[in-house]
Amino acid sequence: MKTKILISGFGGQGILFAGHLLAEAAMIENKHVSWVPSYGPEMRGGTAYCSIIISDKEISSPIVDQPEILIAFNQPSQEKFGPLIVPGGLVIANSSLIPNTLQRTDVHQYRLAANAVAEQLGTIKAVNMIMLGAFLNLDNSISSNTIKMLIHQRFERKNHLKDLNLTALKMGKEKIVQVS
C-alpha cells in the first residue's frame, strides 16, 4: 500500500495542519510517511500545499509529482493540481470556493461545501477538519480513530476546540457527495 496525497488551498485554511495530522497519524499506525509542506511568502491568503506519502514500505523519494488524491480547498488549487492526478485517482473539492468540477472523466470527483458547513459550526477555521473528515470517509490509509486520538491530545486543555474539530470531522464524513 502506498498513497500519494496532495492538500492545497490558501494560506490560513489549515492546509499544513491537516497534512501534518495525517502524517502524524501514519507514524502512530507504524506506517512509513513523508510530509512536505510548501507555502508562498504571503502566508495567510497566499498558496499553501503539502504532499503526504503513506506507505507500508520505505519511501524512496518524498516527491509527489503524480498524486493519487487531491484535496483542493480553492479554485486555483484544483486548476493547478487537478491535471496531475493519476487516472483512477480521487479529487475532493471544496465546492464553496470551487464552482466547477474538473473536466476529466478518468478520476473520481467528490464535492463538499466545506465553507458553508464551517459557517454552520460557527467558524470558518473548521474547513480543514471538514475536508479531512471527507478524506477519511473515502480513503482507508489512515484510521479515523487515530485522527480523533490526535485531536484529543492536541486540544486536551481546550475542550471547545476539541469538540469543534471532532464535530467538523464528522460533518465532513457525512456531507461529501460524489459527482463523477
User: Per residue in 98-131, pLDDT tens?
Assistant: 999 999 999 999 999 999 999 999 999 999 999 9
**Residue 11: per-residue pLDDT:** 86
**Average pLDDT of the residues of the chain:** 94
Q: What is the mean pLDDT of residues 2-12?
A: 94
* The pLDDT value given to residue 15: 94
**Contacts of 6 by beta carbon, 8 Å cutoff, 6+ apart:** 49, 50, 51, 52, 64, 67, 69, 70, 71, 81, 84
Residue 151 has pLDDT above 80, yes or no: yes
50-65 pLDDT, tens per residue? 999 999 999 988 889 9
pLDDT score recorded for residue 40: 66
**What percent of the chain shows pLDDT beyond 90?**
85
144: pLDDT strictly greater than 60? yes
| CATH T-level fold of 2-178 | Pyruvate-ferredoxin Oxidoreductase; domain 3 (3.40.920)
User: In the predicted model, is pLDDT for residue 44 greater than 80?
Assistant: no
Interhelix angle 127-138/114-121, nearest 10 degrees: 120
Where do runs of H (alpha helix) occur along 44-157?
A: 75-81, 114-121, 127-138, 144-154
Ramachandran sector of residue 43 (left: φ over 0; alpha: ψ -120 to 50; beta: rest): left
Q: Quick one: pLDDT at residue 12?
A: 86
What pLDDT band is residue 47 in, cutting at 50, 70 and 90?
A: confident
